[in-house]
Amino acid sequence: MERERRGRSLFHMTQRSALITGIAGQDGSYLAELLLDKGYRVAGTSRRGAEAASSENLKAIGDRLTIVPGDPSRADWASNALAQLQTPPDEIYHLAAQSVVTRAWERPIETTENIALGTLRLLEGAKRQAPAARILIAGSSAMFGDPVETPQRETTPFRPLDPYGAAKVFGHTASGQYRDVHGLYVVGAILFNHESPRRGSEFVTRKITLAVARIAHGDQDPIALGSLEARRDWGYAGDYVDAMWRALQQATPSDYVIGTGETHSVREFCERAFAAAALDYRAHVVVDERFLRRSDDRVLVADATRARERLGWSPRTSFDELVQMMVHADLARAGHRVPNAIPYPVSPSP
């Protein structure tokens, strides 16, 4: 036992460490895998505590993680999480947030407390308990809302259209203040839409790919969506966590817009998703006015020049590859054969 304790102590002294809030989510799980591959000691927070290690997103790596309870809506969540670690982490990635826009309108106070005050509590806890840590705060393209310019960059004014975007603006602003006033190393990552097979079913992309799998399996038909002409800058979450890590390796902290610089419509996503299962989307998709949003006609598209020039980062996964990846994963989960050919023609990407 004494030898094990000595080994653990040396382990902590020689290995870089990171704390990921919201580790069981899409981004948190991909980031955990990336950091483990780089030799980090990884800890994370989850509202479920240690149970999160056995969740679908973490089950392959759960035995290599330290997971502590953490709910950003609680006043002491960040200080308690940091106190449970044996040593302060070298890096902190704050990814935990209520991120569903429709839920933000249903529960605006809860959303604001979770995101805005949750971020402030994280920054204050780090200032007191891990002042040397490098910190990344995850922002969102929703902060631009009704943009004054297209594409959007780090200097584009924020004009959020919903409580979620407004709360993210607060967190981003607080990050800059703790960097400038308190001297913390804080990066604001303004992340445009990023998807994967681990995306929550509340989001339109995963709603579509899950429906494709069910329809192919004969369990659902049709799928109701809002505007098919709404356009988004969609990338792959696995690429975006690489940008997060790169952002914390720089000599000085800065803010970064992370996105592909391309937009695609919901119609294009449907077209490719159904084609990946050898189906024609036109036979299975209907428009339902209940799902129309005020922001559907706004064009949010990233200008990630700073990330490209300073971080050497660019997305590696194309839109078509992303859609096919998500559909094939959901087909496999449903026990459906993944087709080798796509018999229905799809429009070329712009």
Taking only the tens place, the pLDDT of each residue in 112-163 is: 999 999 999 999 999 999 999 999 999 999 999 999 999 999 999 999 999 9
Strand partners, 232: 264
How much is the pTM?
Answer: 0.90
Work out the mean pLDDT of the chain and round it to a whole number. Answer: 89
Taking only the tens place, the pLDDT of each residue in 182-192 is: 999 999 999 99
| 231-232 and 264-265 beta bridge pairing | antiparallel
- Between 271 and 293, whose confidence is greater? 271
Residues comprising the chain, all counted: 350
Give the residue among 28, 140, 120 at the shortest CA–CA distance from 79. 120
Taking only the tens place, the pLDDT of each residue in 89-116 is: 999 999 998 777 677 788 899 999 999 9
Taking only the tens place, the pLDDT of each residue in 201-213 is: 889 999 999 999 9
The amino acid at 228: L
The pLDDT of residue 348 is above 60:
no
> Which domains, and CATH codes, for the chain?
2-195+234-258 (3.40.50.720)
Q: Where are the beta strands (DSSP E) in 175-333?
A: 185-191, 194-195, 223-225, 231-232, 235-236, 256-258, 264-265, 285-287
Give the residue among 245, 194, 252 at the shortest CA–CA distance from 92. 245
